[in-house]
Structure 1
Amino acid sequence: MVSERHEVSGRHEVTGEESALLDAMPADEARAALQRCCGSHRWVERMLGERPFGTRARLVEAASRHWNALDPADWDEAFSHHPRIGEPGRVAAGAASAAATASWASNEQAGAARSADDVKAALAEGNRAYEARFGRIYLVCATGKSGEELLAILRARLANDPETELRIAVGEQEKITRLRLEKLLSS
Protein backbone atom coordinates (compact mmCIF):
# COMPACT_ATOMS: atom_id res chain seq x y z
CA MET A 1 0.00 0.00 0.00
CA VAL A 2 1.36 3.37 -0.99
CA SER A 3 0.75 6.43 1.09
CA GLU A 4 1.89 9.99 0.96
CA ARG A 5 3.82 11.86 3.61
CA HIS A 6 4.21 15.60 3.66
CA GLU A 7 6.61 17.57 5.82
CA VAL A 8 4.66 19.96 8.04
CA SER A 9 6.52 22.12 10.54
CA GLY A 10 9.42 19.67 10.75
CA ARG A 11 7.30 16.57 11.36
CA HIS A 12 5.66 14.03 9.10
CA GLU A 13 1.95 14.44 8.59
CA VAL A 14 0.26 11.20 7.64
CA THR A 15 -2.19 11.28 4.77
CA GLY A 16 -4.51 8.97 2.92
CA GLU A 17 -4.31 5.25 3.22
CA GLU A 18 -2.21 5.03 6.37
CA SER A 19 -5.41 4.99 8.45
CA ALA A 20 -5.82 1.46 7.03
CA LEU A 21 -3.35 0.28 9.69
CA LEU A 22 -5.79 1.18 12.46
CA ASP A 23 -8.82 0.12 10.42
CA ALA A 24 -7.41 -3.38 9.85
CA MET A 25 -6.36 -4.11 13.44
CA PRO A 26 -8.41 -6.59 15.47
CA ALA A 27 -10.60 -4.73 18.00
CA ASP A 28 -8.42 -5.54 21.04
CA GLU A 29 -5.27 -4.40 19.26
CA ALA A 30 -6.97 -1.22 18.01
CA ARG A 31 -8.29 -0.56 21.54
CA ALA A 32 -4.77 -0.79 22.98
CA ALA A 33 -3.39 1.45 20.21
CA LEU A 34 -6.06 4.09 20.78
CA GLN A 35 -5.53 3.97 24.56
CA ARG A 36 -1.90 4.94 23.92
CA CYS A 37 -3.25 8.08 22.24
CA CYS A 38 -5.92 9.01 24.80
CA GLY A 39 -6.69 7.52 28.21
CA SER A 40 -10.48 8.05 28.12
CA HIS A 41 -12.20 4.68 27.79
CA ARG A 42 -15.36 6.32 26.42
CA TRP A 43 -13.33 8.08 23.70
CA VAL A 44 -11.62 4.80 22.79
CA GLU A 45 -14.93 2.93 22.55
CA ARG A 46 -16.50 5.66 20.41
CA MET A 47 -13.49 5.60 18.10
CA LEU A 48 -13.66 1.81 17.81
CA GLY A 49 -17.35 2.06 16.95
CA GLU A 50 -16.62 4.42 14.09
CA ARG A 51 -14.08 2.23 12.28
CA PRO A 52 -13.22 2.01 9.45
CA PHE A 53 -12.06 5.57 9.00
CA GLY A 54 -10.75 5.16 5.48
CA THR A 55 -8.66 8.33 5.52
CA ARG A 56 -6.42 10.16 7.92
CA ALA A 57 -8.69 13.21 7.68
CA ARG A 58 -11.73 11.21 8.79
CA LEU A 59 -9.74 9.68 11.65
CA VAL A 60 -8.57 13.09 12.88
CA GLU A 61 -12.07 14.56 12.54
CA ALA A 62 -13.61 11.66 14.48
CA ALA A 63 -10.98 11.93 17.20
CA SER A 64 -11.73 15.62 17.69
CA ARG A 65 -15.51 15.23 17.51
CA HIS A 66 -15.60 12.38 20.03
CA TRP A 67 -13.13 14.12 22.37
CA ASN A 68 -15.12 17.34 22.46
CA ALA A 69 -18.40 15.46 23.05
CA LEU A 70 -17.16 13.86 26.29
CA ASP A 71 -17.97 15.07 29.78
CA PRO A 72 -15.56 16.33 32.46
CA ALA A 73 -15.26 12.90 34.11
CA ASP A 74 -14.07 11.42 30.80
CA TRP A 75 -11.60 14.26 30.32
CA ASP A 76 -10.26 13.77 33.85
CA GLU A 77 -9.84 10.06 33.13
CA ALA A 78 -7.71 10.91 30.09
CA PHE A 79 -5.68 13.48 32.04
CA SER A 80 -4.95 10.91 34.77
CA HIS A 81 -3.10 8.74 32.27
CA HIS A 82 -0.35 11.33 31.92
CA PRO A 83 2.74 11.64 34.09
CA ARG A 84 3.37 15.00 35.69
CA ILE A 85 5.35 17.49 33.61
CA GLY A 86 8.97 16.99 34.61
CA GLU A 87 8.29 13.49 35.95
CA PRO A 88 7.76 11.36 32.81
CA GLY A 89 8.31 8.09 34.68
CA ARG A 90 5.72 8.84 37.37
CA VAL A 91 1.97 8.63 37.07
CA ALA A 92 -0.31 11.24 38.61
CA ALA A 93 -2.32 10.12 41.63
CA GLY A 94 -5.34 8.04 40.65
CA ALA A 95 -4.08 7.05 37.21
CA ALA A 96 -4.73 3.48 36.19
CA SER A 97 -1.45 3.12 34.30
CA ALA A 98 0.83 5.18 32.13
CA ALA A 99 3.06 2.26 31.16
CA ALA A 100 1.74 2.04 27.60
CA THR A 101 2.54 5.70 26.93
CA ALA A 102 5.74 6.00 28.97
CA SER A 103 8.11 6.18 26.00
CA TRP A 104 5.93 8.72 24.16
CA ALA A 105 5.55 10.85 27.30
CA SER A 106 9.29 10.73 27.89
CA ASN A 107 9.95 11.99 24.35
CA GLU A 108 7.21 14.61 24.63
CA GLN A 109 8.74 15.91 27.85
CA ALA A 110 12.35 15.88 26.66
CA GLY A 111 12.61 19.66 27.12
CA ALA A 112 11.68 19.40 30.79
CA ALA A 113 14.07 16.49 31.29
CA ARG A 114 16.99 18.58 29.95
CA SER A 115 16.22 21.50 32.28
CA ALA A 116 18.44 22.78 35.04
CA ASP A 117 17.76 21.43 38.52
CA ASP A 118 16.18 24.70 39.69
CA VAL A 119 13.67 24.56 36.81
CA LYS A 120 12.86 20.92 37.61
CA ALA A 121 12.31 21.85 41.26
CA ALA A 122 10.09 24.79 40.28
CA LEU A 123 8.07 22.50 37.97
CA ALA A 124 7.60 20.01 40.82
CA GLU A 125 6.45 22.80 43.13
CA GLY A 126 4.19 24.23 40.42
CA ASN A 127 2.69 20.79 39.75
CA ARG A 128 1.75 20.50 43.44
CA ALA A 129 0.22 24.00 43.45
CA TYR A 130 -1.72 23.25 40.26
CA GLU A 131 -3.08 19.96 41.64
CA ALA A 132 -4.11 21.67 44.88
CA ARG A 133 -5.89 24.44 42.97
CA PHE A 134 -7.57 22.44 40.19
CA GLY A 135 -7.70 18.85 41.48
CA ARG A 136 -5.91 17.37 38.46
CA ILE A 137 -2.45 17.28 36.95
CA TYR A 138 -1.10 20.17 34.92
CA LEU A 139 -1.57 19.07 31.33
CA VAL A 140 0.15 20.77 28.43
CA CYS A 141 1.28 19.60 25.01
CA ALA A 142 4.97 19.60 25.93
CA THR A 143 6.33 18.55 22.53
CA GLY A 144 9.04 20.98 21.44
CA LYS A 145 8.88 23.10 24.59
CA SER A 146 11.76 23.74 26.98
CA GLY A 147 11.45 23.30 30.71
CA GLU A 148 11.50 27.07 31.09
CA GLU A 149 8.58 27.43 28.64
CA LEU A 150 6.60 24.72 30.42
CA LEU A 151 7.19 26.45 33.75
CA ALA A 152 6.10 29.84 32.40
CA ILE A 153 2.92 28.31 30.97
CA LEU A 154 2.23 26.57 34.29
CA ARG A 155 2.65 29.76 36.28
CA ALA A 156 0.37 31.69 33.92
CA ARG A 157 -2.31 29.00 34.03
CA LEU A 158 -2.37 28.97 37.82
CA ALA A 159 -4.14 32.35 37.59
CA ASN A 160 -7.03 30.90 35.56
CA ASP A 161 -10.47 30.18 36.98
CA PRO A 162 -11.38 26.46 37.03
CA GLU A 163 -13.72 26.64 34.01
CA THR A 164 -11.16 28.40 31.83
CA GLU A 165 -8.45 26.02 32.95
CA LEU A 166 -10.54 22.96 32.14
CA ARG A 167 -11.16 24.27 28.61
CA ILE A 168 -7.41 24.83 28.16
CA ALA A 169 -6.55 21.35 29.46
CA VAL A 170 -9.14 19.81 27.13
CA GLY A 171 -7.52 21.61 24.19
CA GLU A 172 -4.04 20.50 25.26
CA GLN A 173 -5.18 16.86 25.48
CA GLU A 174 -6.67 17.16 22.01
CA LYS A 175 -3.29 18.35 20.67
CA ILE A 176 -1.51 15.47 22.43
CA THR A 177 -4.01 12.95 21.06
CA ARG A 178 -3.58 14.21 17.51
CA LEU A 179 0.23 14.03 17.73
CA ARG A 180 0.00 10.51 19.16
CA LEU A 181 -2.38 9.41 16.42
CA GLU A 182 0.15 10.68 13.88
CA LYS A 183 2.90 8.71 15.66
CA LEU A 184 0.72 5.61 15.70
CA LEU A 185 -0.10 5.82 12.01
CA SER A 186 3.45 6.54 10.93
CA SER A 187 4.99 3.71 12.97
Structure 2
Amino acid sequence: MRLGERDLAACCASRRWLAAVAALPGDDLGELRRTSRRVLDELDWADIEEALAAHPRIGERAGGDGREADWSRREQAGLDGAAAELRAAFAEGNRAYEERFGHVFLIRASGRSAREMLDELLRRLGNDAGTERREVRAELAEIVDLRLLKLADGKPAEGKPAEGKPAEGEDA
Protein backbone atom coordinates (compact mmCIF):
# COMPACT_ATOMS: atom_id res chain seq x y z
CA MET A 1 0.00 0.00 0.00
CA ARG A 2 2.44 2.67 -1.14
CA LEU A 3 0.44 5.86 -1.58
CA GLY A 4 1.44 8.57 -4.02
CA GLU A 5 1.36 12.30 -3.43
CA ARG A 6 -1.83 12.72 -5.46
CA ASP A 7 -3.62 10.16 -3.26
CA LEU A 8 -2.29 11.74 -0.09
CA ALA A 9 -3.15 15.27 -1.24
CA ALA A 10 -6.81 14.19 -1.36
CA CYS A 11 -6.55 13.56 2.40
CA CYS A 12 -5.08 16.92 3.40
CA ALA A 13 -4.26 20.03 1.36
CA SER A 14 -1.47 21.25 3.64
CA ARG A 15 1.78 21.10 1.68
CA ARG A 16 3.78 20.66 4.88
CA TRP A 17 1.66 17.68 5.93
CA LEU A 18 1.91 16.20 2.44
CA ALA A 19 5.71 16.51 2.34
CA ALA A 20 6.05 14.79 5.72
CA VAL A 21 3.76 11.84 5.05
CA ALA A 22 4.82 11.34 1.43
CA ALA A 23 8.43 11.00 2.60
CA LEU A 24 7.64 7.96 4.74
CA PRO A 25 9.34 4.78 3.56
CA GLY A 26 7.41 1.55 3.29
CA ASP A 27 3.72 0.83 3.54
CA ASP A 28 2.95 0.63 7.26
CA LEU A 29 -0.56 2.07 7.72
CA GLY A 30 -0.09 2.45 11.47
CA GLU A 31 3.09 4.48 10.95
CA LEU A 32 1.36 6.58 8.30
CA ARG A 33 -1.53 7.37 10.67
CA ARG A 34 0.76 8.13 13.62
CA THR A 35 2.96 10.39 11.50
CA SER A 36 -0.09 12.11 10.05
CA ARG A 37 -1.45 12.87 13.52
CA ARG A 38 1.93 14.08 14.81
CA VAL A 39 2.42 16.37 11.82
CA LEU A 40 -1.12 17.74 12.11
CA ASP A 41 -0.49 18.48 15.78
CA GLU A 42 2.71 20.37 14.85
CA LEU A 43 1.38 22.40 11.91
CA ASP A 44 1.41 26.18 12.17
CA TRP A 45 -1.98 27.84 11.92
CA ALA A 46 -1.13 29.01 8.37
CA ASP A 47 -0.71 25.34 7.39
CA ILE A 48 -4.08 24.51 8.94
CA GLU A 49 -5.67 27.38 7.00
CA GLU A 50 -4.13 25.98 3.82
CA ALA A 51 -5.85 22.65 4.56
CA LEU A 52 -9.13 24.39 5.42
CA ALA A 53 -9.17 26.19 2.07
CA ALA A 54 -9.79 22.84 0.35
CA HIS A 55 -12.94 22.11 2.38
CA PRO A 56 -16.37 23.33 1.22
CA ARG A 57 -18.80 24.88 3.66
CA ILE A 58 -20.99 22.40 5.48
CA GLY A 59 -24.23 22.28 3.55
CA GLU A 60 -22.63 23.18 0.22
CA ARG A 61 -21.76 20.51 -2.32
CA ALA A 62 -18.11 20.22 -3.24
CA GLY A 63 -17.46 21.00 -6.88
CA GLY A 64 -15.14 19.08 -9.15
CA ASP A 65 -14.71 15.45 -9.93
CA GLY A 66 -11.54 14.56 -8.04
CA ARG A 67 -11.21 12.13 -5.16
CA GLU A 68 -11.33 14.87 -2.51
CA ALA A 69 -14.53 16.38 -3.95
CA ASP A 70 -16.14 12.93 -4.14
CA TRP A 71 -15.19 12.17 -0.54
CA SER A 72 -16.51 15.53 0.61
CA ARG A 73 -19.87 14.89 -1.05
CA ARG A 74 -20.08 11.44 0.56
CA GLU A 75 -18.99 12.76 3.95
CA GLN A 76 -21.73 15.39 3.89
CA ALA A 77 -24.41 12.88 2.90
CA GLY A 78 -26.09 13.50 6.27
CA LEU A 79 -27.30 16.80 4.81
CA ASP A 80 -28.98 15.21 1.81
CA GLY A 81 -32.68 15.80 2.09
CA ALA A 82 -32.33 18.27 4.97
CA ALA A 83 -35.31 20.57 5.34
CA ALA A 84 -35.11 24.04 3.80
CA GLU A 85 -35.12 25.71 7.22
CA LEU A 86 -32.17 23.56 8.31
CA ARG A 87 -30.25 24.49 5.16
CA ALA A 88 -31.04 28.17 5.80
CA ALA A 89 -29.78 27.81 9.38
CA PHE A 90 -26.52 26.33 8.04
CA ALA A 91 -26.11 29.21 5.60
CA GLU A 92 -26.60 31.75 8.39
CA GLY A 93 -24.42 29.81 10.83
CA ASN A 94 -21.64 29.45 8.26
CA ARG A 95 -21.75 33.20 7.59
CA ALA A 96 -21.59 34.04 11.30
CA TYR A 97 -18.81 31.52 11.88
CA GLU A 98 -16.67 32.80 9.02
CA GLU A 99 -17.21 36.37 10.17
CA ARG A 100 -16.15 35.46 13.71
CA PHE A 101 -13.22 33.13 12.98
CA GLY A 102 -12.15 34.03 9.44
CA HIS A 103 -12.33 30.55 7.94
CA VAL A 104 -14.76 27.82 6.98
CA PHE A 105 -16.45 25.82 9.76
CA LEU A 106 -14.81 22.40 9.79
CA ILE A 107 -16.43 19.31 11.24
CA ARG A 108 -16.12 15.61 10.55
CA ALA A 109 -19.44 15.21 8.77
CA SER A 110 -19.22 11.43 8.30
CA GLY A 111 -21.54 9.63 10.66
CA ARG A 112 -23.28 12.82 11.83
CA SER A 113 -26.79 14.02 11.14
CA ALA A 114 -27.54 17.49 9.82
CA ARG A 115 -29.04 18.43 13.20
CA GLU A 116 -25.91 17.25 15.04
CA MET A 117 -23.65 19.30 12.77
CA LEU A 118 -25.81 22.41 13.12
CA ASP A 119 -25.83 22.04 16.91
CA GLU A 120 -22.03 21.83 16.85
CA LEU A 121 -21.78 24.88 14.60
CA LEU A 122 -23.96 26.90 16.97
CA ARG A 123 -22.06 25.67 20.04
CA ARG A 124 -18.68 26.44 18.54
CA LEU A 125 -19.73 29.99 17.67
CA GLY A 126 -19.38 30.60 21.42
CA ASN A 127 -15.74 29.45 21.51
CA ASP A 128 -12.85 31.83 21.92
CA ALA A 129 -10.26 31.79 19.12
CA GLY A 130 -7.82 29.47 20.92
CA THR A 131 -10.47 26.91 21.81
CA GLU A 132 -11.84 26.96 18.28
CA ARG A 133 -8.41 26.45 16.75
CA ARG A 134 -7.96 23.35 18.91
CA GLU A 135 -11.37 22.04 17.83
CA VAL A 136 -10.60 22.71 14.16
CA ARG A 137 -7.29 20.87 14.44
CA ALA A 138 -9.00 17.88 16.11
CA GLU A 139 -11.75 17.76 13.45
CA LEU A 140 -9.15 18.01 10.67
CA ALA A 141 -7.22 15.13 12.23
CA GLU A 142 -10.38 12.97 12.26
CA ILE A 143 -11.16 13.82 8.64
CA VAL A 144 -7.61 13.11 7.49
CA ASP A 145 -7.47 9.82 9.40
CA LEU A 146 -10.76 8.67 7.85
CA ARG A 147 -9.47 9.55 4.41
CA LEU A 148 -6.20 7.69 5.00
CA LEU A 149 -8.21 4.63 6.01
CA LYS A 150 -10.31 5.00 2.86
CA LEU A 151 -7.21 5.13 0.73
CA ALA A 152 -5.79 2.05 2.40
CA ASP A 153 -9.07 0.16 1.94
CA GLY A 154 -9.72 1.52 -1.52
CA LYS A 155 -13.22 2.48 -0.33
CA PRO A 156 -15.22 5.70 -0.26
CA ALA A 157 -14.78 7.54 3.07
CA GLU A 158 -17.82 7.18 5.28
CA GLY A 159 -18.39 6.70 8.99
CA LYS A 160 -15.96 7.93 11.58
CA PRO A 161 -12.62 6.89 13.03
CA ALA A 162 -12.62 4.70 16.10
CA GLU A 163 -13.02 7.06 19.03
CA GLY A 164 -10.46 6.82 21.76
CA LYS A 165 -8.56 4.10 19.96
CA PRO A 166 -4.94 4.66 18.98
CA ALA A 167 -3.71 3.96 15.49
CA GLU A 168 -2.67 0.39 14.80
CA GLY A 169 0.54 -0.36 16.73
CA GLU A 170 0.23 2.79 18.86
CA ASP A 171 0.01 2.74 22.63
CA ALA A 172 -3.03 4.29 24.28
TM-score of the pair, normalised by structure 1? 0.79
Are positions 1:88 and 2:61 aligned together? yes
1:44 — aligned with what? 18
1:74 — aligned with what? 47
Q: Look up the equivalent residue of 1:83 and give its one-letter code.
A: P
Q: Which runs of 4+ in 1 moved over 6 A?
A: none
Q: Look up the equivalent residue of 2:23 and give its one-letter code.
A: G
Q: Look up the equivalent residue of 2:62 and give its one-letter code.
A: G
Partner deviation per Cα, 1:145-167 (whole Å, 9 max, x = no partner): 11111100000000000110010
Aligned-residue sequence identity (percent) comes to 40
Higher RCO, 1 vs 2 (CA within 8 Å, ≥6 residues apart):
2
Greater fraction of residues in helix? 1
Are positions 1:138 and 2:105 aligned together? yes
Contact in 2 for aligned 1:83/1:98 (Cα 8 Å):
no
Shift of 1:144: 1.0
Shift of 1:67: 1.1
Greater fraction of residues in strand? 1
2:80 — aligned with what? 113
Task: Supply the RMSD in Å over aligned alpha carbons.
Answer: 1.5
Q: Look up the equivalent residue of 1:65 and give its one-letter code.
A: R
Partner deviation per Cα, 1:120-142 (whole Å, 9 max, x = no partner): 11001100000000000000001
1:21 — aligned with what? 2
TM-score of the pair, normalised by structure 2? 0.85
Q: Look up the equivalent residue of 2:6 and give its one-letter code.
A: A
Unaligned runs of 5+ in 1: 1-19, 23-29, 91-96
Shift of 1:98: 8.8
